[in-house]
């Protein structure tokens, strides 16, 4: 049985539409106008035990709503889901002790108290045995290198330090499923790397099931082999991360370095010319035309170095997210 399974999940919100002007506002007190927003639309997927899966999409795509459904924070309008054999929105005590949700923009630690005080509170909430609590706490503190910081008030910590404390709090009760919503948002490069390295090591050691949402493709590439892409509330891709570039990018990139100091002026006949740094240049060329273009360029010009590359994942994903809805629906 998969650790997580969603079947035709749907979540619809009624959003109040406030009219402009004083009289329109007064009329709105008696007759309110609403619009319907489909945050999640017929979403279905399975995640096996021990998988770490990226859940990708632009802002407003339905990622966080889906995680809230799986954690039981909200109830779906339609559809079904099971996590570890539990229906999340029943909010059974047995289920709450088996998963954890970390949201990069939300704080579960007491702001004015040292993190160690919040850890003690989590110990009581999850009824963790004292010996187990001490062992887990020490292990996580050492892995995340924060032993010197746990006695400082949370408000005095940097964003990266606070996120490491949040991860400790989320993992003290040894959850089997970890839902991560933008865990590295706003972090500097060093803090991002520390969080990435910890998550990669911890997931491999504990074999827990992880869903990760992130706008940082470096997180995704470092941690996940599979990606689910959601846009306009619907799943557009579910498969290996490596397949995304091939599926959603029609072009590859040819890197050329010419002899001399100049770049030929007529390269645009072969493809889209960009990143011109004479004598180096890059060309975006349709995949099927790569052999033909390479043969022609090498025959016409003196080339000192050449390479063929896939476009960066981050670039392909960003382009896909900005396509009109009718185009992404057929992707």
- Domain check: are 160 and 255 in the same one? no
Grade residue 119 by pLDDT with cuts at 50, 70 and 90: very high
pTM of the predicted structure, to 2 decimals: 0.82
Kindly state whether residue 315 falls inside one of the protein's structural domains.
no
Domain end residue (candidates: 213, 240, 267): 240
Write the Ramachandran bin of 309: left for phi over 0, alpha for psi from -120 to 50, otherwise beta.
beta
Kindly state whether residue 321 falls inside one of the protein's structural domains.
no
Kindly state whether residue 81 falls inside one of the protein's structural domains.
yes
Q: Pull the structure tokens for residue 227.
A: 């990606």
Backbone φ, ψ for residue 116 (5° rounding)? -60, -30
Grade residue 218 by pLDDT with cuts at 50, 70 and 90: confident
Q: Quick one: pLDDT at residue 61?
A: 86
Kindly state whether residue 330 falls inside one of the protein's structural domains.
no
Grade residue 331 by pLDDT with cuts at 50, 70 and 90: very low
Q: Quick one: pLDDT at residue 326?
A: 44
Tell me how far apart the alpha carbons of residues 241 and 299 are, in angstroms, rounded to a whole number. Answer: 36
- Domain check: are 236 and 257 in the same one? no
Residue 322 reports pLDDT greater than 80: no
CB 269 within 8 Å of CB 234: no
Kindly state whether residue 221 falls inside one of the protein's structural domains.
yes
Kindly state whether residue 295 falls inside one of the protein's structural domains.
yes
Q: Averaged over 165-186, what is the pLDDT?
A: 94
- Domain check: are 108 and 148 in the same one? yes
- Domain check: are 17 and 122 in the same one? yes
* pLDDT tens by residue, 262-280: 899 889 999 999 999 999 9
Q: Which of 214-223, 271-280, 307-316 has the highest mean pLDDT?
A: 271-280
- Domain check: are 69 and 210 in the same one? yes
- Domain check: are 295 and 198 in the same one? no
Grade residue 28 by pLDDT with cuts at 50, 70 and 90: low
- Domain check: are 32 and 89 in the same one? yes
User: Which CATH number do you get for residue 294?
Assistant: 3.30.70
User: Which CATH number do you get for residue 110?
Assistant: 3.40.50.300
Grade residue 178 by pLDDT with cuts at 50, 70 and 90: very high
Range of the domain at 296: 250-309
Q: How many domains does the chain have?
A: 2
């Amino acid at each position: 049985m998969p650790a997580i399974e969603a079947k035709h999940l749907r979540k619809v919100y009624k959003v109040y539409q406030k009219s402009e002007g004083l009289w329109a506002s007064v009329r709105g007190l008696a007759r309110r106008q609403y619009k319907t927003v489909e945050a999640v639309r017929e979403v279905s997927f399975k995640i096996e035990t021990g998988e770490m899966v990226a859940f990708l999409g632009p802002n407003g795509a339905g990622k966080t709503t889906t995680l809230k459904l799986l954690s039981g924070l909200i109830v779906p309008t339609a559809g079904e889901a099971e996590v570890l054999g539990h229906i999340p929105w029943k909010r059974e005590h047995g289920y709450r002790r088996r998963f954890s949700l970390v949201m990069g923009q939300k704080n579960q630690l007491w702001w004015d108290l040292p993190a160690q005080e919040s850890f003690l509170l989590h110990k009581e909430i999850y009824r963790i045995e004292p010996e187990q609590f001490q062992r887990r706490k020490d292990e996580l503190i050492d892995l995340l290198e924060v032993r010197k910081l746990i006695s400082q008030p949370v408000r005095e910590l940097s964003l990266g330090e606070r996120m490491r404390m949040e991860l400790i709090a989320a993992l003290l009760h040894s959850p089997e499923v970890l839902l991560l919503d933008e865990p590295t948002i706003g972090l500097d490069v060093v803090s991002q790397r520390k969080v990435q390295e910890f998550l990669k090591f911890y997931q491999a050691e504990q074999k827990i099931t992880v869903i990760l949402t992130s706008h940082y493709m470096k997180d995704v590439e470092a941690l996940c082999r599979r990606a689910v892409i959601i846009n306009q509330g619907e799943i557009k891709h579910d498969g290996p991360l490596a397949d995304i570039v091939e599926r959603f990018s029609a072009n590859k990139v040819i890197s050329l370095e010419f002899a001399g100091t100049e770049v030929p002026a007529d390269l645009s006949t072969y493809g889209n010319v960009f990143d011109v740094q004479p004598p180096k240049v890059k060309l975006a060329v349709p995949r099927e035309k790569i052999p033909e273009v390479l043969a022609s360029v090498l025959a016409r010009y003196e080339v000192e170095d050449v390479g063929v590359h896939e476009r960066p994942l981050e670039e392909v994903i960003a382009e896909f997210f900005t396509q009109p809805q009718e185009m992404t629906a057929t992707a």
